[in-house]
Chains A and B, each alone.
Chain A
Amino acid sequence: MSRHPALSSPGRHRARRGPVGTAVRVLAHSPVLAAGVLVTVAVTAAAFDTTWQPVVGASALEFRLAALSAPAAPPAPAMVSSGVGAAAGLQDPLPLDSGAPAAGVRPTRLVIPAIDVDVDLVSLQRDTAGVLLPPADLDSAGWYTASAVPGAVGPAVLAGHVDDTETAGVFSRLHELQPGDAIAVALSDGSFREYRADRAIDVAKEDFPTEQVYGPTPNSQLRLITCNGPYDYGVMHYSNNLVVFAEPVD
Chain B
Amino acid sequence: MLHRSRTVRLGLLAAVAAGIALVPMSPATAASPGYIRVGHLSPDTAAADITLSALAGGQVLYSLTGVGYGGVSKYMTLDPGTYALAMAPSEDGSNTPLVNAEVEVVAGGAETIAAIGPNASIRLTTISDDLSAPADDNARVRAVQASTTSDTVSVATADGTTLLDAAAFGEVGDYTDVTPGSTDLTLTGDDGDASASVDLEGGASQTVFVLDNADGKLTALAVIDSASVTETPVGGVATGGGALASSVQTGMQLAAVGTVVGVMLLGGVLALALRSRRLSPRRHRA
B250 near A199 (CB under 8 angstroms)?
A: no
The stretch that binds B, out of A41-49, A55-63, A174-182, A184-192, is A174-182
Let me know if B178 is at the binding interface, CB within 8 A: no
Contact across chains for B241 and A165 when beta carbons are under 8 A apart: yes
Other A-B contacts than A160-B239, A208-B235, 15 sampled, CB-CB below 8 A, are: A81-B120, A86-B45, A162-B239, A163-B242, A164-B243, A198-B5, A210-B233, A218-B226, A226-B240, A227-B238, A228-B240, A229-B245, A229-B254, A233-B242, A247-B77
Docked Cα-Cα span, A136 to B6, in Å, equals: 37
B180 at the interface (CB under 8 A from A): no
| A-B interface pairs (CB < 8 A), number | 314
Instruction: Identify which of B8-16, B125-133, B167-175 touches chain A.
Output: B125-133
Contact yes or no, B239 A227, CB < 8 A = yes
Known interface pairs A85-B88, A179-B272; A241-B245 also in contact (CB < 8 Å):
no
Give the Cβ gap from B72 to chain A, nearest Cβ, in Å.
Answer: 7
CA distance A9 to B243 in the complex (A): 41
Bound-complex Cα distance A181 to B268 (A): 10
Kindly identify which residue among B43, B242, B278 contacts A93, using a CB–CB cutoff of 8 Å: B43
Contact B44 A81 (CB under 8 A): yes
Q: Which residues of A contact B98 (CB under 8 A)?
A: 84-85
Chain A residues with CB under 8 A of B3: 199
Specify the main secondary structure of chain B where it touches its partner.
loop
| Minimum CB–CB distance for B41 against chain A, Å | 8
| Interface: A36 (CB within 8 A) | no
| A169 to B240 alpha-carbon distance, docked (Å) | 8
- Listed residue (B66, B94, B267) with the most chain A CB atoms within 10 angstroms of its CB: B267
Residues of A124-177 contacting chain B, CB below 8 A: 126, 129-132, 134, 144, 146-148, 152-155, 157, 159-169, 171-172, 175, 177
| With A85-B94, A144-B233, A199-B5 as contacts: A229 and B257 at CB distance below 8 Å | yes
Q: Contacts A167-B243, A179-B268, A237-B242: A87 and B227 contacting too (C-beta < 8 A)? A: no
> Does chain B have a CB within 8 A of A66?
no
* Measured CA separation A180–B219 after assembly (Å): 41
Q: How large is the interface on A (under 10, 10 to 19, 20 to 34, 35 or more residues)?
A: 35 or more
Contact check, A201 vs B46: say whether CB atoms are below 8 A apart: no
Interface centre among B68, B98, B222 (most CB of A within 10 A): B68
CB under 8 Å from chain B, chain A span 92-124: 92-99
Check A163 against B204 for contact (C-beta < 8 Å). no
CA distance A161 to B244 in the complex (A): 11
Contact of A134 among B211, B238, B278 (CB under 8 A): B238
In angstroms, how far is the closest chain A Cβ from the Cβ of B71?
6
Whether A97 pairs with B235 at a CB distance below 8 angstroms is no
Q: Can you name the residue of chain A whose Cβ is closest to the Cβ of B269?
A: A179
Q: Are B240 and A162 in contact (CB under 8 A)?
A: yes
Q: List 22 A-B contacts (CB under 8 A).
A: A22-B214, A29-B215, A85-B91, A86-B45, A89-B214, A93-B70, A96-B221, A130-B233, A154-B203, A157-B229, A163-B245, A164-B240, A165-B242, A167-B243, A179-B5, A179-B264, A214-B232, A227-B237, A229-B253, A238-B239, A241-B237, A250-B277
* A219 sits at the interface (CB 8 A): yes
Q: Which residue of A lies closest to B199 (CB)?
A: A103
